[in-house]
Amino acid sequence: MSGPLLLPTWDRLAVSRPQLVEPMRRYLQQISCVLRPGSVGGADLALRSFTAFLLEAAPEVTSPAQVVRRHIEDYKPWLAARPGQNKARITPATIAHRLGTLRMFFVRIDEWGWDEAPPRVPMFNGDLPRLDHPLPKALDDAAAAMLLRAARNDKRLLVGVTVEVLLRTGLRVSEFTGLRADAVVQIGAGPWLHVPVGKLHEDRYLPLHPHLVDLIDSYRTAHVPTDHALLLPRENGRALDRHTVTRFINKAGAAARLGHIHPHQLRHTLATQAINRGMSLEAIAAMLGHRSLDMTLRYAKIANRTVADEYFAVTDKVEALYGQPPVLPADAIGPKMARLRREHHRLLGNGYCTRPPELDCAFESICETCTFFQTSIEFRPTLQAQHDDAASKGQNHRAELFHRLLTNLNDSAAS
């Protein structure tokens, strides 16, 4: 029992704990009616892990009804100390899955009213470790192009077909390996790919690039009998599996001098490329077969075009705010400064405003519009100069303001 793959079988566990094992086997039988085999297998492993712990650390427990909170608290560090698959320690994700599955076992047998249920569910949501949620790891455009070129140059046509279909359709590996011979269909004027019921219990249709149709036809013509049930089996007729698909991808990746590539990265790559180029989240969700937009929103976090567009729209203003004035040659300072003053500086009562014209200012005329502002006839030349300066530079709002002040000043002097 030194590793996760060496947990005792149910038959071995049943020898010493038949009353403990029997309800768990019944539970697995029940969930096998509604869950996929992979999910049932995960639950089987989780329950055997907990039973192995009880066999080792709690010999007094002979039925699930006898499990109390203390057993759960002792089980968690026991589980965390287990070696993982090719790792010194089991991963947090596996711990969360094992504990979550165990908690659901106790919740369900309590809901079902089984006699073997403990008086109260001994587990809480807080028993599950909080997991990180990293963004999908996609290949950048350059790496994707290098991978595709390497796959096309591979002597084995199936390598190129595999990489190109996954990279252009975003299929899950299980969907790709399960494509039926009649998966390519004509709908309207174009070819579509029928993806059968898979992970989320739904099938869907994907628009298929004509180049992929030609590529698939070429492979099938060369290597696949017309009566074969699968669209893309191996050359010997056997079905592809995820391990073979992974080897194909990394064979092309090695030729392109890329690191290890997981097949799901090609799915992430297509989604990232699509959202970067303006495809809507709804369309991406339909393409990838997502049941909820929450799944698709992960890709929006990678490349939010709205954020990018709005950021670059204000970049010039930000640069103008923080940037330093350009250093001009000594012989050009006089003429340059005179030109800048003529074009940009705004004449104030006691000097100039050097704010760049592209930056709006909420305080442009705060003094002259303040209720405490007063002027008199001796300031007429200054007000007139400010009016003329604003008018000559097309600063219509300021020109109108000073025109109104001059008019009021003249009316006051006349009265």
Which CATH number goes with the domain that contains 62? 1.10.150
Give tens-digit pLDDT for 94-136: 899 999 999 999 999 999 999 999 999 999 988 888 866 655 5
164 with 91, same domain: the answer is no
246 with 356, same domain: the answer is no
95 with 14, same domain: the answer is yes
Residue 299 has pLDDT above 70, yes or no: no
Q: Report the pLDDT value the prediction gives residue 415, as an integer from 0 to 100.
A: 63
122 with 154, same domain: the answer is no
Residue 24 has pLDDT above 60, yes or no: yes
In whole angstroms, what is the distance from residue 155 CA to residue 153 CA?
6
Q: Of 105, 127, 149, which marks where a domain is finished?
A: 127
Amino acid (1-letter code) at residue 125: N
216 with 294, same domain: the answer is yes
Whether 83 maps to a domain, the answer reads yes
Q: Report the pLDDT value the prediction gives residue 3, as an integer from 0 to 100.
A: 41
Structural domains of the chain, count: 3
109 with 147, same domain: the answer is no
Residue 362 has pLDDT above 50, yes or no: no
Whether 322 maps to a domain, the answer reads no
Give tens-digit pLDDT for 156-197: 999 999 999 999 988 989 899 999 999 999 988 889 999 876
102 with 221, same domain: the answer is no
90 with 174, same domain: the answer is no
Phi, psi of 204, deg, nearest 5: -155, 170
Whether 327 maps to a domain, the answer reads no
Whether 309 maps to a domain, the answer reads no
Q: Report the pLDDT value the prediction gives residue 356, as an integer from 0 to 100.
A: 58
Asked whether the CA dihedral 232, 236, 237, 242 is positive or negative, the reply is negative
* CATH at residue 284: 1.10.443.10
115 with 146, same domain: the answer is no
In whole angstroms, what is the distance from residue 259 CA to residue 244 CA?
17
Q: 283 vs 230, which has greater pLDDT?
A: 230
97 with 150, same domain: the answer is no
Q: Of 264, 285, 303, which marks where a domain is finished?
A: 303
Range of the domain at 289: 141-303
283 with 391, same domain: the answer is no
Give tens-digit pLDDT for 251-273: 999 999 998 999 988 988 888 88
Q: Whose CA is closest to 221, among 200, 211, 235?
A: 235
254 with 364, same domain: the answer is no
Q: Report the pLDDT value the prediction gives residue 40, as an integer from 0 to 100.
A: 93
Q: What is the 3-state secondary structure (H, E, C) of the chain?
A: CCCHHHCCCHHHHHHHCHHHHHHHHHHHHHHCCCCCHHHHHHHHHHHHHHHHHHHHHCCCCCCHHHCCHHHHHHHHHHHHCCCECCECCCCHHHHHHHHHHHHHHHHHHHHCCCCCCCCCCCCCHHHCCCCCCCCCCCCCHHHHHHHHHHHHHCCCHHHHHHHHHHHHHCCCHHHHHCCECCCEEEECCEEEEEECCCCCCCCEEEECCHHHHHHHHHHHHHHCCCCCCECCCCCCCCCCCHHHHHHHHHHHHHHCCCCCCCHHHHHHHHHHHHHHCCCCHHHHHHHHCCCCHHHHHHHHHHCCHHHHHHHHHHHHHHHHHHCCCCCCCHHHHHHHHHHHHHHCCEECCCCEECCCCCCCCCCCCHHHHCCCCCCCHHHHHHHHHHHHHHHHCCCHHHHHHHHHHHHHHHHHHHC
Q: Of 303, 326, 361, which marks where a domain is finished?
A: 303
Q: Report the pLDDT value the prediction gives residue 389, as an integer from 0 to 100.
A: 83
What share of the chain in percent tops pLDDT 90?
A: 43
Q: Report the pLDDT value the prediction gives residue 379, as an integer from 0 to 100.
A: 74
Whether 136 maps to a domain, the answer reads no
Whether 314 maps to a domain, the answer reads no
Whether 197 maps to a domain, the answer reads yes
Q: What mean pLDDT do residues 145-157 have?
A: 95
Give the chain's radius of gyration (CA, Å): 36
Whether 286 maps to a domain, the answer reads yes
Q: Report the pLDDT value the prediction gives residue 207, as an integer from 0 to 100.
A: 87
Which of 67-71, 292-296, 359-363 has the highest average model confidence (pLDDT)?
67-71
